[in-house]
Amino acid sequence: MNRGNRVLLSCVYWAFVLYVFVPLLLMILMGFKDSKFIGFPIRSWTLEWYQGVFADTEVISTFGYSMAIAALSTLVSVLVGTWIAVLLEGRRFRGRTILFGLTILPALIPGIISAIAFRIYARGLGIEPGMGAIVWAHAVHNVPFVVLVVMARLSTLPKSQVEAARDLGADPLISFLRITLPYLIPSILGATVFCLLLSFDDFIRSYFLGGYEPTLPVLIFAKLRSGMSPEINAIATVALVLTAVIGIWAERFTRRQARESDA
Amino acid sequence: MVESDQRPFWGRLSGWGPYRSSMRLLSAGPRRQFLVLVTLPVLWVLTQHLGPMVQMASVSLTDAYPVAPGTETHWTFEHYLKFFTDRIFWMPFFRTLIFASVFTFVTLILTYPVAYYLARHVSPKNRMLLLLLLLIPFWVGEIVRTYAIMILLGNTGALNLLLQSIGLIERPIPFMYTSFSMGVGIVYLTALYMLLPLYSALEKLPRSLNEAGADLGAGAWTRFRRITLPLTLEGITSGCILVFLISTGFYATPVLLGGPSTTVFAQTIAGFFHVAGNEWPTGAAFATIMFLAALIVTGVFQKLMNGLRRGDVR
């Protein structure tokens, strides 16, 4: 009975793996089809669409634009998020629960509502749609994820180390910079990569806060609305490879870092 | 001539006059230290996290936004009343709530066995690897994954080709632009947010409970229903809430995968912001309605699940 269960469950797992991988693999395959027409079967293959993507200055500059937005917004998110995590973890004060709730709020607001609220707020502040507005919205939206990741790591920090540093005469800032911060580095790096991917992949905020220049997901969306083409598959595949490689690398890196600092 | 300081960097820093006096000013006593630490987070959270929501709610109650120079705004409730006046407003709203609930349930049914398998039947060493395998597709963005579903389900898509080649159907089934294609897309996008809470709840569950149940003669199904399921209700609750909130917020996926009969409220809301006219307050009111409805639904759901959990302990 137990054995039968196990086999059945492993079949379910692998079926689920197929479900999450097959659509992406098909999408990648279609980018090599030697025809303008999206659909199966694929009879002849070509690299022409990829050559087109790398020759298209609009697409290349969109990649750069999205990466710049991701880098800037991540910088803000990580700084603010780490600060809030340090305040919230291991301290008890009045209003802590409320502050924590408000910190997590942006992660719980459904996408469309968050985008609309940011758009209205930006207009109230006089921020024009464009890069600044997108960077700001991504930065605010990603803070909760940084806080959660850094707080989890901070909760395992041996308090005695900080106390030892203070006893030896280090002031709060120096003991933070020399004891706490190095301990947090793996989680901060993990949070950084997570924010970079969230920002790079974000559609809804970029769409509502963007100006004339599209980010990569907005460009793909706009192209899709005017019809499917293997060119879009090539663009999407380049984006997919980029995000997957960064994600896998970060996962391995943070795991190794965490193991080393635990040892 | 300046004598070079041989002390390490940190020693030099803490001995540097301006640094010492500013540290003395900022960290005199735990109270002041706390004030220094707490100021930025409180300001940030109030102006950046809460601010946009408050501004949206207040715009939804004014008669014009942005305010034209030289005119006065008036408070009004008309945008909220407008919601009830027309079918094309409230139909997408209820459709969104129903779709999101159904998709959430489907995601739960689909991912529970997967999480169960990972947490209970895989050795801890392989567990991370198999979990990581599932994480990879989820780093790929919303739009790219939506497009992948379009290719899968199109009339000349892989699924139709497969069904035709094994002789199940003669002509392609029009999957696309229906609530089915939208559901497949949304479940595809949200599955991980269900899987992770379920996995961590199942992983925490001690095996001894199940063994004790087996010793007392309970069959596999009884053990699942009386032990595993009640003790993972917390994970189920948080996964469902997360997936429900995310599903209600999708805009691009319904636009790309749905059709005219599947318009969701996100599309209705977005419509007020596409036109250059003065419809922002209506859009703000509708977004506020959506947000409140999502909060109420998840709140009631949480209450129900908590009741269920307490009932099982007794």
Q: What is the pLDDT of residue B5?
A: 62
Measured distance CA(B216)–CA(B305) in Å, rounded:
28
Tell me if A236 and B118 make a contact (CB, 8 A cut-off): no
Which residue of A1, A30, A251 is in closest CB contact with B151? A30
User: What are the residues whose beta carbons fall under 8 Å from the beta carbon of B260, sequence distance 6 or more?
Assistant: B177
Tell me if A9 and B245 make a contact (CB, 8 A cut-off): no
Tell me if A24 and B14 make a contact (CB, 8 A cut-off): no
Q: What is the pLDDT of residue B159?
A: 87
Q: What is the pLDDT of residue B314?
A: 43
Which residue, chain included where needed, has tokens 């634009």? A65
Q: What is the pLDDT of residue A1?
A: 47
* Class level of CATH domain B78-313: mainly alpha
**pLDDT tens string B236-255:** 999 999 999 999 999 999 99
Tell me if B51 and A121 make a contact (CB, 8 A cut-off): yes
Is A222 domain-assigned? yes
Q: Are A160 and A221 in contact (CB under 8 A)?
A: no
Q: What is the pLDDT of residue A251?
A: 79
Q: What is the pLDDT of residue A263?
A: 52
Is A211 domain-assigned? yes
User: What are the residues whose beta carbons fall under 8 Å from the beta carbon of A131, sequence distance 6 or more?
Assistant: A65, A68, A69, A211, A213
Tell me if A22 and B147 make a contact (CB, 8 A cut-off): no
Average pLDDT, chain B: 87
pLDDT band at B1 (very low <50, low <70, confident <90, very high): very low
Task: Please give the angle made by the CA atoms of B203, B220 and B118, to the nearest 5 degrees.
Answer: 30
Tell me if B188 and A9 make a contact (CB, 8 A cut-off): no
- Tell me, rounded to whole angstroms, the distance of Cα B198 from its chain centroid: 15
How far does the CA of residue B138 sit from the closest CA of chain A (Å)? Answer: 8
One-letter amino acid at B207 equals R
**pLDDT tens string B187-221:** 999 999 999 999 999 988 888 888 888 888 878 78
Q: Are A79 and A184 in contact (CB under 8 A)?
A: no
Q: How far is CA B223 from CA B87, B198, B211, B216, in A?
A: 48, 17, 9, 10
Per the structure, how many domains does chain A have?
A: 1
Across the A:B interface, residue pairs with CB atoms under 8 Å apart total: 253
User: What are the residues whose beta carbons fall under 8 Å from the beta carbon of B63, sequence distance 6 or more?
Assistant: B73, B74, B75, B76, B78, B281
The SS3 of residue A175 is helix
Which of the two residues, A215 and B33, has the higher pLDDT score? A215
Percentage of residues of chain B with pLDDT beyond 90: 44
Query: Of the given ranges (B81-85, B265-269, B280-284), which has the lowest mean pLDDT?
Result: B81-85
Percentage of residues of chain B with pLDDT beyond 70: 96
Which residue of B37, B144, B220 is in closest CB contact with A236? B144
Q: With helix as H, strand as E and coil as C, how does chain B read?
A: CCCCCCCCHHHHHHHCHHHHHHHHHHCCHHHHHHHHHHHHHHHHHHHHHHHHHHHHHHHCCECCCCCCCCCCCCECCHHHHHHHHCHHHHHHHHHHHHHHHHHHHHHHHHHHHHHHHHHHHCCHHHHHHHHHHHHHHHCCCHHHHHHHHHHHHCCCCHHHHHHHHCCCCCCCCCCCCCHHHHHHHHHHHHHHHHHHHHHHHHHHCCHHHHHHHHHCCCCHHHHHHHHHHHHCHHHHHHHHHHHHHHHHCCCHHHHHHCCHHHCCHHHHHHHHHHCCCCCHHHHHHHHHHHHHHHHHHHHHHHHHHHHHHHHHHC
The overall pTM is greater than 0.95: no
Which residue of A12, A86, A118 is in closest CB contact with B117? A12
When pLDDT is averaged across residues B226-234 and rounded to a whole number, the result is 87
Tell me if A112 and B161 make a contact (CB, 8 A cut-off): no
Range of the domain at A218: 46-262
Six token digits for residue B202? 């199942």
Q: What is the pLDDT of residue A30?
A: 86
Confidence check: pLDDT of B96 > 70: yes
Which residue of B141, B143, B284 is in closest CB contact with A116? B284
CATH code of the domain in which A50 resides: 1.10.3720.10
The segments of chain A whose pLDDT lies below 70 read 1-2, 258, 260-263
Neighboring chain B residues of A207 at a CB cutoff of 8 Å? 251-252
Q: What is the pLDDT of residue B86?
A: 85
User: What are the residues whose beta carbons fall under 8 Å from the beta carbon of A75, sequence distance 6 or more?
Assistant: none
What's phi and psi for B206, nearest 5 deg? -65, 135
**pLDDT tens string A57-85:** 889 999 999 999 999 999 999 999 999 99
Among A73, A139, A1, A79, which Cα is nearest to B221's?
A: A1
Tell me if B52 and A246 make a contact (CB, 8 A cut-off): no
Is A69 domain-assigned? yes
Which residue of A24, A40, A228 is in closest CB contact with B150? A228
